Amino acid sequence: MRVVAAARLRRAQENITATRPYAEKLDTILGHLISQIENPTHPLLERREVKHVCLISVSGDRGLCGSFNSNVLRTTTQRAEHYRENGADVTLICIGRRTHEHFSRRGYDITDAYVNIFRQLEFQTAVDVVHEFEQLYVDRQIDRVEVIYNNFKSAILQTVLVEQLLPLVPEEPEGDELFLDYVYEPGQEALFEMLLSQDLNMQMWKVLLDSNAAEQAARMAAMENATQKANELIDELILQRNRARQTQITTEISEIVSGAAALEG
Amino acid sequence: MLNRSFRLEIRTPEKLLYEGEVTSVRAPGVEGNFEILAGHIPFLTALEVGEIRIREGDTPQLLSTSGGVFEVLRTGVTALVETAEWASEIDVARAETALERAQAYLAANEPDLNVPRAEAARARAQNRIKVASNL
């Protein structure tokens, strides 16, 4: 199991690296457009009073990976309670079997669930998820979207993060004085709109990849712990067995010796 | 002038699909197909579902794409597409299954059907079949 998880972890890390050329270019172009457009307006940038919240809870499909799943479940519950205390209602999009099972049993309002997607991760899944909440946001059925997932920091460190997806928070554009402007087709605004959607898809895709890598790392650590514990247990049991055997032999020898002594006497 | 080449990169969220020197690239812009040659002015456009045709030497290479953005700079050309597949690698049987499924959804037209999503899926499948047949 440890070796399998290690191999999967390597692949998951490669997938994260593979997104970079695309993500960096997208950021550059988007940053440039934001610097060109004065007061960007877009339904996805619109801030409203928070009455309806959509939480996207990303867990794994399987267990045996330490606190990977339980951390996400706990944080999701905390966020949901926090919003309820402030008078908002909460709907969930569950990604991963664990979070779906957990929250459907507890009567949460689940908009949609995606299970068994991590075995064969596809970009289209991220697009489908985004499409779903983007539409709800534009239709004003939800006022805020947050995603809760395990962030892959390194093979030994994964932390649960809560990130706001909507309303979008546009990043401050970097100064790019030497840049010559493009010819746009269609207009800047239409392109901006399209790029925002693409950026959101990319964010969701990164979340899925990160969670997947974190899951493999967590499972690897859990399996290593299990192996270590089992080895300690084996050592302990061998010691016990040897002690028992020694006691028995000692008893037998002393019986024989005392028997012989009795005969001689 | 005509045979000058320029640098082209096709990047998808899953990988860097292509990088190389090409003499021309044709792509499906939202306002119609266009072709880029060396020395084009800086240009930014949206792509829709369609076919990308690149020319390195004498034989063109074909890809299907589901859309994205296309950037032309003095230093090179970059296509950022959400999905793209070489025509030679398209699984036509799978595309046909996807097409049938999308058509069945649209024909059944149940109340909770997500029509734009089904239509987009149908357009992607049709495009993949078409690009594979253009090879």
pLDDT of residue A193: 86
> What's this model's pTM, rounded to 2 decimal places?
0.86
Q: Which of A85-89, A169-173, B49-53, B104-108 has the lowest mean pLDDT?
A: A169-173
| Residue A14 and residue A51 in contact, taking contact as beta carbons nearer than 8 Å | no
A231-249 confidence digits (pLDDT tens): 999 999 999 999 999 999 9
Nearest CB neighbour to A21, from listed B11, B44, B71: B11
- Asked whether residue A202 carries a pLDDT value surpassing 80, the answer given is yes
Q: What is the dihedral of CA A91, A95, A98, A103, to 10 degrees?
A: 10
Residue type, A35: S
Q: Which residue has the higher pLDDT, B118 or A180?
A: B118
Which residues of A fall within a CB distance of 8 Å from B48?
A: none
Could you give all domains of chain A from N- to C-terminal order, each with its CATH number? 2-219 (3.40.1380.10)
Token pair, residue A33, equals: 């457009």
Question: How many angstroms separate the CA atoms of A69 and A100, rounded?
Answer: 11
- Asked whether residue A181 carries a pLDDT value surpassing 80, the answer given is no
Name the average pLDDT for chain A: 90
CA distances, A178 to each of A32, A134, A174, A175, A181 (Å)? 12, 35, 12, 9, 9
Q: Which helix (H) or strand (E) holds B40?
A: none
Nearest to B12 by CA among B77, B79, B71, B88: B79
In degrees rounded to 5, what are phi and psi of residue A203?
A: -60, -45
pLDDT of residue A3: 85
Overall CATH class of domain B6-87: mainly beta
Residue type, A168: L
Nearest to B15 by CA among B88, B82, B69: B82
Scan residues 11-40 of B and list those with Cβ closer than 8 Å to A. 11-16, 29-31
Helix, strand, coil percent content, chain A, rounded in steps of 5? 60, 15, 25
State how far residue B13 is from chain A, nearest Cα, in angstroms.
5
ipTM of the complex: 0.84
Cβ contact (<8 Å) for B16 and A182? Answer: no
pLDDT mean over A161-166: 93
Interface probe with A: pick from B19, B40, B47, B69, most Cβ of A within 10 Å: B69
Cβ contact (<8 Å) for B13 and A202? Answer: yes
Which residues of A fall within a CB distance of 8 Å from B68?
A: 198
Q: Which helix (H) or strand (E) holds B68?
A: strand B68-73
pLDDT of residue A171: 67
Q: Domain extents for chain B?
A: 6-87, 91-133
Token pair, residue B30, equals: 């939202």
pLDDT of residue B96: 93
B27-79 confidence digits (pLDDT tens): 999 999 999 999 899 899 999 999 999 998 888 899 999 999 999 988 899 99
Name the average pLDDT for chain B: 90
Catalytic residue among A65, A80, A126, A200: A65
Cβ contact (<8 Å) for B69 and A124? Answer: no
pLDDT mean over A170-179: 60
User: Can you name the residues that pair with A183 across neighbouring β-strands?
Assistant: B43
B52-62 confidence digits (pLDDT tens): 999 988 888 99
Nearest to A222 by CA among A61, A67, A66: A66
| Residue A89 and residue A51 in contact, taking contact as beta carbons nearer than 8 Å | yes
Nearest to B45 by CA among A259, A188, A156: A188
Cβ contact (<8 Å) for A201 and B69? Answer: no
Q: What is the DSSP letter of B87?
A: G
pLDDT of residue B2: 55
Which residues of B fall within a CB distance of 8 Å from A191?
A: 44-46, 69
Question: How many angstroms separate the CA atoms of B48 and A26, rounded?
Answer: 17
Token pair, residue A222, equals: 């859990």
pLDDT band at A174 (very low <50, low <70, confident <90, very high): low
Which residues of A fall within a CB distance of 8 Å from B13?
A: 19, 22-23, 123, 126, 201-202, 205
State how far residue A182 is from chain B, nearest Cα, in angstroms.
5
Q: Which of A16-30, A99-113, B100-114 has the lowest mean pLDDT?
A: B100-114
pLDDT of residue A184: 85
Cβ contact (<8 Å) for A29 and B44? Answer: yes
pLDDT band at A110 (very low <50, low <70, confident <90, very high): very high
State how far residue A29 is from chain B, nearest Cα, in angstroms.
9
CATH 3.40.1560 fits B91-133, yes or no: no
Question: How many angstroms separate the CA atoms of B97 and B110, rounded?
Answer: 20
| Residue A53 and residue A253 in contact, taking contact as beta carbons nearer than 8 Å | no
pLDDT of residue A34: 80
Interface probe with B: pick from A14, A17, A22, A111, most Cβ of B within 10 Å: A22
Q: Chains A, B: CB contacts under 8 A, how many? A: 76
A70-106 confidence digits (pLDDT tens): 999 999 999 999 999 999 999 999 999 999 999 999 9
